[in-house]
């Protein structure tokens, strides 16, 4: 049996994933989801350039670019970049193919951002720390790093069944997370139901990050927590929140 933790990211986010990733007007692409995201990110650029780590097919970067922000992307998947290129040209929105852990874009940026749990695609704390350091290294003094992440929910003590959590249940789709709190690793199981009743099953492994852990990663990279909200619209972050949007700032003076 294949060990999912050894599968190359390029295989997980290959041609099939890229082909079915975009859902115009629905889900992650719904106006009520994208609108507040773009508004907040555009305001945080403060007139400067933005860098998106794990840019994917351009769900966020393209509409942000259309507001007048100069956006650059880093993306590991050639297939995802190919899908993005069907929508916007390289000279309008440059993308570097490579890992968000090590790839460097030229120049300094006012904003670096990671959305929709993308940092969890790195399976170890070491890689996640390196990714945050890489983000900080791209920032100009006073620049900001923004991370959107979900918050793991407490689990009942008991057998295997207690570790499975349904995160989405809609017509035609069921999403279930299976978590291991000891390793902070999990697998999202995606079940899509076709009109004829047939089911297509996919999965995506991840390592989740606690909010306080992310704060420490940012401190190690020389950044300070500036704000944390439950969502892009600015709702207060509380113990009941299931997600957070955290903004970190690189001091105007100080070490990176």
Note whether 197 and 217 are same-domain residues: no
Note whether 56 and 144 are same-domain residues: yes
Q: Please tell me the predicted confidence (pLDDT) of residue 37.
A: 98
Query: Residue holding tokens 């007007």?
Result: 25
Measure Cα distances from 131 to 100, 147, 230 in Å: 6, 12, 23
Instruction: Kindly state the helix (H) or strand (E) to which residue 47 belongs, with its residue range.
Output: none
Please indicate, yes or no, if residue 255 is contained in any of the structural domains: no
Q: Please tell me the predicted confidence (pLDDT) of residue 4.
A: 73
Q: Please tell me the distance from the alpha carbon of residue 178 to that of residue 197, in angstroms, as a whole number.
A: 24
The DSSP letter of residue 68 is T
Q: Please tell me the predicted confidence (pLDDT) of residue 1.
A: 40
Q: Please tell me the predicted confidence (pLDDT) of residue 178.
A: 84
Q: Please tell me the distance from the alpha carbon of residue 9 to that of residue 67, in angstroms, as a whole number.
A: 31
Note whether 134 and 21 are same-domain residues: yes
Q: Please tell me the predicted confidence (pLDDT) of residue 13.
A: 66
Distance of CA 35 to the CA centre of its chain: 17
Note whether 32 and 87 are same-domain residues: yes
Please indicate, yes or no, if residue 44 is contained in any of the structural domains: yes
The DSSP letter of residue 217 is H
Query: What domain count does the chain have?
Result: 2
End-to-end CA distance of the chain: 43
Please indicate, yes or no, if residue 256 is contained in any of the structural domains: no
Q: Please tell me the distance from the alpha carbon of residue 165 to that of residue 149, in angstroms, as a whole number.
A: 17
Q: The domain containing residue 27 runs over which residues? A: 4-152+208-249
Q: Which residues pair with residue 200 across a beta bridge?
A: 192
Q: Please tell me the predicted confidence (pLDDT) of residue 162.
A: 45
pLDDT digits (tens, 9 = 90+) for 93-114: 999 999 999 999 999 999 999 9
Note whether 15 and 138 are same-domain residues: yes
From the list 101, 4, 2, 100, the residue with the least C-alpha distance to 54 is 100
Q: Please tell me the distance from the alpha carbon of residue 62 to that of residue 60, in angstroms, as a whole number.
A: 6
Note whether 79 and 179 are same-domain residues: no
Q: Please tell me the distance from the alpha carbon of residue 138 to that of residue 50, in angstroms, as a whole number.
A: 10
Note whether 195 and 96 are same-domain residues: no
| pLDDT-flagged residues of the chain (< 50) | 1, 161-162, 255-256
pLDDT digits (tens, 9 = 90+) for 114-160: 999 999 999 999 999 999 999 999 999 999 999 999 998 766 555 55
Q: Please tell me the predicted confidence (pLDDT) of residue 230.
A: 98
Q: With both helix axes pointing from N to C terminus, report the angle between 211-220 and 125-138 in degrees, rounded to the nearest 10.
A: 50
pTM over 0.85: yes
Q: What is the CATH number of the domain that holds 242?
A: 3.40.50.150
Please indicate, yes or no, if residue 254 is contained in any of the structural domains: no
For residues 251 and 222, is the Cβ–Cβ distance under 8 A? yes
For residues 211 and 202, is the Cβ–Cβ distance under 8 A? no
């Amino acid at each position: 049996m294949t060990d999912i933790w050894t599968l190359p990211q390029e295989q997980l986010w290959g041609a099939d994933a890229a082909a079915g990733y975009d859902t115009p007007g629905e889900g992650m692409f719904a106006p009520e989801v994208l609108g507040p995201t773009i508004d907040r990110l555009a305001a945080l650029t403060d007139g400067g350039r933005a860098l998106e780590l794990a840019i994917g097919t351009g769900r966020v970067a393209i509409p942000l670019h259309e507001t007048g922000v100069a956006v650059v992307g880093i993306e590991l998947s050639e297939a995802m970049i190919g899908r993005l290129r069907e929508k916007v040209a390289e000279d309008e929105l440059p993308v570097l193919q490579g890992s968000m852990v090590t790839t460097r874009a030229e120049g300094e940026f006012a904003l670096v951002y990671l959305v929709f749990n993308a940092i969890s695609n790195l399976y170890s704390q070491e890689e996640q720390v390196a990714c945050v350091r890489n983000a900080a290294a791209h920032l100009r003094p006073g620049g900001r790093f923004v991370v959107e992440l979900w918050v793991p929910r407490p689990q009942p003590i008991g057998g295997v069944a207690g570790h499975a959590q349904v995160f989405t249940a809609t017509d035609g789709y069921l999403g279930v997370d299976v978590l291991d709190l000891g390793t902070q690793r999990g697998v999202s199981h995606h079940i899509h139901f076709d009109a004829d009743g047939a089911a297509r099953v996919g999965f995506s492994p991840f390592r989740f990050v606690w909010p306080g852990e992310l704060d420490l990663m940012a401190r190690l990279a020389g950044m300070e927590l500036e704000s944390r909200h439950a969502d892009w619209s600015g709702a207060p972050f509380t113990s009941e929140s299931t997600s957070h949007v955290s903004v970190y700032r690189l001091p105007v003076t100080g070490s990176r």
